Amino acid sequence: MYEQAKSTGQSVYDWGVSTTREAGNIVRNWTKALEETIRHVCETAGRIIENVENSK
């Protein structure tokens, strides 16, 4: 698992075993935050493409 994470550029730190509050927040919120970021980027890109196509 470590080698797979390392080869794909993912974090190799096991946040689930950390006892700090910040680590707990990362474990709970990482998937949701990443999903929201990707959605925002894709929606923004779609609007930019539409604007460029409409301005031609």
Single pTM value for the model: 0.39
Residue 27 belongs to some domain of the structure: yes
Residue 3 belongs to some domain of the structure: no
| CA 8 – CA 13 distance, rounded (Å) | 14
For 3-55, write each residue's pLDDT tens digit. 666 666 666 556 556 667 776 677 676 767 777 887 888 888 888 888 888 88
Residue 9 belongs to some domain of the structure: no
The range of the structural domain enclosing residue 45 comes to 19-56
Q: Where are the alpha helices (DSSP H) in 1-56?
A: 2-8, 21-54
Number of domains the chain contains = 1
